[in-house]
Chains A and B, each alone.
Chain A
Amino acid sequence: AQSVTQLDSQVPVFEEAPVELRCNYSSSVSVYLFWYVQYPNQGLQLLLKYLSGSTLVESINGFEAEFNKSQTSFHLRKPSVHISDTAEYFCAVSRPGGNTPLVFGKGTRLSVIA
């Protein structure tokens, strides 16, 4: 079985400052890794994903995450945040192959302060 740990439940950061949201996973098999973002009272939107290949993946809005197999981590980073980045961020894993559900971490609330 897979599990995901997001150590930080809340991360306040000033606008234009860098941010890192931490994610560690546990799995006995290889996994796919995802970051989703959730705005208030909305569903989840995919931010970025790691399936294979390059361990550094990027999103279109400046976020990036690096898969580190030895540390079983998939931390999310952004060099300069905006007010509009305020949201809940969820790290998730799934097992490759088959139509299996995602297992989510508890989420990290990113609050960007003007």
Chain B
Amino acid sequence: GAVVSQHPSWVICKSGTSVKIECRSLDFQATTMFWYRQFPKQSLMLMATSNEGSKATYEQGVEKDKFLINHASLTLSTLTVTSAHPEDSSFYICSARRPGSGTGELFFGEGSRLTVL
């Protein structure tokens, strides 16, 4: 079964509004979660690394004020797209790794498709 879950799966919003996407690790505690963005028919681009109890680390070119990440607990990270615009429409996917597993494998959420009108 799924070990990382995202909500919502689909969201449609008006331009200028903010949207929050939740990412939960279901059966393990994740001190670190990764947020990826995927454009249609393209690969996954790492947006940021979410760190529990501290500030997220953003990749070059990703606006931290636009994409707010909060990792307030060991099982929940949230991505808020602030003042969304049509160009923010995309598929957002979070992921996490079991602590101490040493396998390198990342578990991915189901993804959240954002459409900004």
Identify the A interface with B (CB < 8 A): 32, 34, 36, 41-46, 49, 51, 90, 94, 96, 99, 101-107, 109
Chain A to chain B: the 4 pairs with minimum beta-carbon distance, closest first: A32-B104, A43-B108, A44-B108, A106-B43
Choose one: B6, B43, B109; the contact of A105 (CB below 8 Å). Answer: B43
Choose one: A32, A41, A43, A106; the contact of B42 (CB below 8 Å). Answer: A106
Which of the four size classes fits the interface of chain B? 20 to 34
Q: A49-B104, A96-B104, A99-B32 are in contact. Are A43 and B43 (CB under 8 A)?
A: no
State in angstroms the CA–CA spacing of A105 and B109 once bound together: 19
Question: Which residue of chain A is the closest to B97 with respect to CB atoms?
Answer: A99
Question: Does any Cβ of A come within 8 Å of B106's Cβ?
Answer: yes
Contact A41 B113 (CB under 8 A): yes
Q: How far is the CB of B11 from chain A (nearest CB, A)?
A: 13
Contact A104 B104 (CB under 8 A): no
Q: How far is the CB of A12 from chain B (nearest CB, A)?
A: 15
State in angstroms the CA–CA spacing of A96 and B34 once bound together: 16
Residues of chain A contacted by B41 (CB below 8 angstroms): 107, 109
Contact A90 B105 (CB under 8 A): no
Q: How far is the CB of A77 from chain B (nearest CB, A)?
A: 21
Residue of B42, B91, B105 with most chain A CB atoms under a 10 A cut-off: B105
List 21 A-B pairs, Cβ < 8 Å. A41-B113, A42-B110, A42-B111, A43-B4, A43-B110, A44-B44, A44-B108, A45-B108, A46-B107, A49-B103, A49-B105, A90-B44, A94-B104, A94-B106, A101-B34, A101-B49, A101-B95, A102-B34, A104-B44, A107-B41, A109-B41
